[in-house]
Amino acid sequence: MAVPIRADLAGIPDYIIPGQPPGAILLNSNEGPLAPPPSLIEAITRAAAESHRYPTWFSDELVSRLADRLGVPEQWITVGCGSVSLCQQLIQAYCAPGDEIVCAWRSFEAYPVFARVAGVTARTVPLDPEHRHDLDAMLAAITPATRVVFVCNPNNPTGTVVRADALRRFLDEVPSDVLVVLDEAYREFLTDPDVPDGIPLALERENVAVLRTFSKAYALAGVRIGYCVAPPPIAAGTAKVGVPFAVSRLAQAAGLAALEHADEVGARCETVIRERERLSAAMREAGHDVPPSQANFLWLPLRERSARFGEHCAESGIMVRVFGKDGVRVTVGLPEENDAFLRAAQSFAHAVS
């Protein structure tokens, strides 16, 4: 007889790994378009020589360097195997089966999945007509069972933002025993000065956690390293449910080296931002609705045409990310990759008209 899996997991779809034809242009996972600089690869290689030893449990050196940089005490920082693992840890530490989380939809797909894995109900609140978080509706969705609220800023997959006044008002209204997680995976790509840095907001409150990652701007998605900044009791709660030694020696070394070479990262982000604006303008000119993006990707709310658009791009050797019948997310790549995407988008317009 087959071993039965927990019945309530049946509804969680298996993760489908998209086929990646060799040589395809990968604009489907919000990765950095360039490999990490040689200095980072050297640091990872040096760490590899010590692979027979376990890493430090709490990524001590990286925590200390992050604390200096961010201006927060070390006890506020938890390092994780990508910030996605910290999302899961926060849900595990703060929600019991039957509790609820609130998040926008569409937003990061991991939030409702992690909720279900923990036996937690995700209340998903539709984005507003401009593809932004509807904070009033999110407030209204909070019930006595709500333990955690996610605000993804900028939002994946739409690239839209929550600005300072709106976020402050929201934080003032959320009950103080509900944890608000500000997911800032794309913070380095912001150009809008009205989008707040979550860390000072966390420092003023007892119920705010901020998630950051080295995967996107620092081009370390394959290494798996991210961190959470939160008041010490929350940092301790997060660490409690972490998998021992989940953050490898290689990941810790890469994070440290990335901080040391942050200026190179900044220069790369500027290129991505420039290309983002060029791509957005070209797509708008071609008649597409493109919400203003503050991240390293664009959102094309193509609705029923989403799947066909995705297939058309794949036929041109370009992988983009299709989200059901809502839209398509296109990661900003290198200039020539973006040109190839624009050509594919243009031929799609001709093919369907």
Ligand X SMILES: *Cc1c(COP(=O)(O)O)cnc(C)c1O
Q: For ligand X, which residue of 112, 196, 226, 237 counts as binding (CB under 6 A)? A: 226
293 binds ligand X (CB under 6 A): no
Q: What mask of x and - would describe binding to ligand X in positions 80 to 109, judged by CB under 6 A? A: --xxx-----------------------x-
Please choose, out of 19-27, 32-40, 166-174, 210-218, the segment that lies near ligand X by the rule CB under 6 A.
210-218
Based on CB atoms, which residue is closest to ligand X, 66 or 152? 152
Among 24, 221, 334, 342, binds ligand X (CB under 6 A): 221
Window 6-45: contact mask with ligand X (x via CB under 6 A):
------------------------x---------------
Give residue 248's identity as a one-letter amino acid code: S
Instruction: Indicate the residue type of 340.
Output: A
Choice from 28, 88, 213, 306 touching ligand X (CB under 6 A): 213
How many helices (H) and strands (E) the chain has is answered by 12, 12
Count of residues that bind ligand X according to CB under 6 A: 14
Of 92, 104, 98, 235, the C-alpha closest to 170 is 104
Cα distance between residue 264 and residue 267, in whole Å: 5
Burial class (CB in 10 A: 0-12, 13-18, 19+), 347: middle
Characterize 278-303 residue by residue with b for buried, 16 or more Cβ atoms within 10 angstroms of its Cβ, and e for exposed: ebbebbeeeebebbbbbbbbbbbbbe
Region of 11-19, 76-84, 97-105, 172-180 interacting with ligand X (CB under 6 A): 76-84
- Exposed / middle / buried, residue 151 (Cβ in 10 Å: 0-12, 13-18, 19+): buried
Which residues are near ligand X by CB under 6 A?
Answer: 30, 82-84, 108, 152, 156, 183, 185, 213, 215-216, 221, 226
